[in-house]
């Protein structure tokens, strides 16, 4: 009987710990990006709509969030940064689809979108070179131990990444793939 109770207690403890993992989800993307997320430029003709993202179970001590989208398969030698947004307040746990579109006013007050590898701030969707194969897009939410990173929209992706990584408590990611014919 003691063995059964101990097993049940360990199982319950494991489920509680597992259920509280920092988690990122999206109801606008699955495993594949679509024309909705695809960039509009560089030969691509997509809608360039940033995906809906939601996260839960942030770690203790979270004071703000950052979101990045990165393509390690880009033929640059250093990958490609598609979205870098930070200083998202700690009381926010979701960004609506299209949040990067400044005319819609969907980003939380105080959030900053810095430069991407497209050379401008804001979301720049997938646009792999034709015939280059399937590209991987790592979408990551970072729980940060500071409320402000102290950089602005002119920060390049490497600098923003440095600041984000230096303040990250925990992160959660999802992956989407895209291939351009």
pTM: 0.88
pLDDT tens over the chain, length 181 residues: 544 333 444 344 444 444 589 999 999 998 999 999 999 999 999 999 999 999 999 999 999 999 999 999 999 989 999 999 999 999 999 999 999 988 888 999 999 999 999 999 999 999 999 999 999 999 999 999 999 999 999 999 999 999 999 999 999 999 999 998 7
Candidates 126, 65, 125, 137; CA nearest to 100 is 125
Distance from CA of residue 55 to its chain's centroid? 10
Residues 6+ apart with CB under 8 A from 58: 22, 65, 90, 93, 143, 170
Domain definitions of the chain by residue range: 22-178
Residues composing the chain:
181
Exposed, middle or buried by CB within 10 Å (0-12, 13-18, 19+), for 154? exposed
Q: What superfamily in CATH does domain 22-178 come from?
A: PEBP-like (3.90.280.10)
Tell me, what DSSP letter sits at residue 78?
A: T
């Amino acid at each position: 009987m003691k063995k059964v109770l101990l097993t049940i207690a360990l199982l319950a403890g494991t489920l509680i710990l597992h259920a509280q993992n920092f988690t990122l989800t999206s109801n606008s993307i699955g495993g594949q990006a679509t024309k909705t997320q695809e960039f509009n430029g560089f030969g691509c003709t997509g809608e360039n709509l940033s995906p809906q993202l939601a996260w839960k179970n942030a770690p203790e001590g979270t004071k703000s969030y950052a979101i990045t989208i990165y393509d390690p398969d880009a033929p640059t030698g250093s990958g490609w940064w598609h979205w870098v947004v930070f200083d998202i307040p700690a009381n926010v746990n979701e960004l609506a689809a299209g949040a990067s579109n400044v005319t819609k006013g969907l980003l939380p007050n105080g959030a900053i979108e810095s430069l991407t590898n497209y050379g401008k701030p804001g979301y720049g969707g997938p646009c792999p070179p034709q015939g280059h194969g399937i590209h991987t897009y790592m979408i990551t939410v970072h729980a940060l131990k500071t409320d402000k990173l102290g950089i602005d929209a002119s920060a390049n992706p490497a600098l923003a990444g440095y600041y984000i990584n230096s303040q990250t408590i925990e992160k959660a990611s999802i992956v989407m793939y895209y291939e351009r014919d």
